[in-house]
Amino acid sequence: MFLSSHELNSPLVILPKLSELPMRCFSCGSTNQSQIKNLYGYDVCDSCEQTLNLYKDHTIRKHIASYEKKREAVPEGPTYAQEVDYRVEVMEEVYIRRRLKLLHIQSRLKELGKED
């Protein structure tokens, strides 16, 4: 359900709750509800989930062992869990910075378009 900017600014518009909106795969846009699940806060269809190449448990265990071996030589090094936590945190910060920059450009383009 998409609303025009006029409809969004109308005081009589009642927007649906997020829980009432159909789930849509973040990658392909599929709305086949029987094929979509929520994966860590993102709606993903079965087909796209397979393309994510998510690690199996045995792969994660191999990485844990690799980090444990590295820590034998350098005990102050991070554990695999610490490294993953750090990478997620840095990725979120980078994402926010890039998103803010693009949102700023988008806003400025709208303002500059009014001047034309």
What's phi and psi for 37, nearest 5 deg?
-135, 160
Is residue 107 in a domain?
no
Residue with tokens 């649906």: 16
Task: Note the pLDDT tens digit of each residue in 94-113.
Answer: 999 999 999 999 999 999 99
Q: At what angle do helices 80-115 and 57-73 cross, to 10 degrees?
A: 110
What's phi and psi for 19, nearest 5 deg?
-70, -20
What's phi and psi for 45, nearest 5 deg?
-80, 165
The number of domains in the chain is 1
Strand-pair partners of 36: 45
Task: Note the pLDDT tens digit of each residue in 23-75.
Answer: 999 999 999 999 999 999 999 999 999 999 999 999 999 999 999 999 999 99
pTM: 0.70
Is residue 35 in a domain?
yes
| Domain coverage including residue 28 | 1-54
